[in-house]
Structure 1
């Protein structure tokens, strides 16, 4: 099996950060389509799979309600160090315009959070894949990550985590476990589906093919390639948390591809 990539921030993580931070701090004019709805984003509970050095956690945690950073146990000390040194405060209400940012900068800088709005947890996808869906082992994994087995995640992010085909099956099992479908009033209140954003650098065609075939074979999922001209318009994704409007134009500057999926 190929060695895991070295401990560094990969280009597609930086590119995704550019896109989302631009949407949060410099939103497009009304009537245009952006990828993130900043209003919903700052109310979201986000789970990142395969966080690496924790770059996206450092950048996105201040912008959301709660951000969960996960990776293998041996990565956690480095992630903890980076989060501690770079996430200095929680700003769950990022300014919506440049004027807002200028007007509110003084008050934002004066805010001191009572507690960090992020958590860091060990998550080995094989622990999910090798345990039965309703088993005690599976519930323990879920609780160790979310704090409660019934906790709902609004958005799952996975960036450049699939670098060989052996990872695909455990990764898909993890998506199935942590992504929720829409709930109804009869189930205790209306709740939107968990949105799943998967971003990959175009390296290995076989890995991407195996991943997409596997994801689509799970059944009950809607999956769209971001930037595909066949992508649905905004009204087709209104049921998806964060109010994504999937752009039909190029999403990334570089050899990257992204998919947005959710359980129907």
Structure 2
């Protein structure tokens, strides 16, 4: 299984970059976790849009799903050109699926995610866990026969994430605040909280993402490593990790 970082900023993208979006590849299966602002342009450097099998949206804040509507138009045009012959399945964790304004159900097939769901896409199995956030938001576990990746989505500190991420081969986790800012915002994690979750979950590898637009991002890495005691990686454009 391979993780490709497409976008990694919180709130809004820096120039020529993107907010949360991650491409997961395994065998012939390709899925997206979130599809934030700027993601669609960046994604095409890593994958052909006609090859996507599914998209999973952790929650409906725009930095996690802004480009899903542009992706719908891409699916429409690719279908009209004969380059895609099947609808794209899009799974969204939200209480109000009817409020989403998709226009072309023949090319974009919308599903409301529930925590009890287990979704199989090709060689991948996906399960979900509730987060602490301003709106409904879930963390996502992606597994195959050999390994498992856990994506935190956006969340405040919760022991549910520790349990959900237990023994993960890769923990892709938001890190929105520095250690001194712990508790600054209920729905996001500080570096100290990230380190605590990773340590208690006994994660094998940790990738930090969803970065703030202030301070030195390398400091976040150092603060997590000080407690976690193992290698920590920073998500960035072009970053690929194989597990």
TM-score of the superposition, structure 1-length normalised?
0.40
TM-score of the superposition, structure 2-length normalised?
0.42
Structure with the largest fraction of strand: 2
Of structures 1 and 2, the larger Rg is shown by 1
Structure with the largest fraction of helix: 1
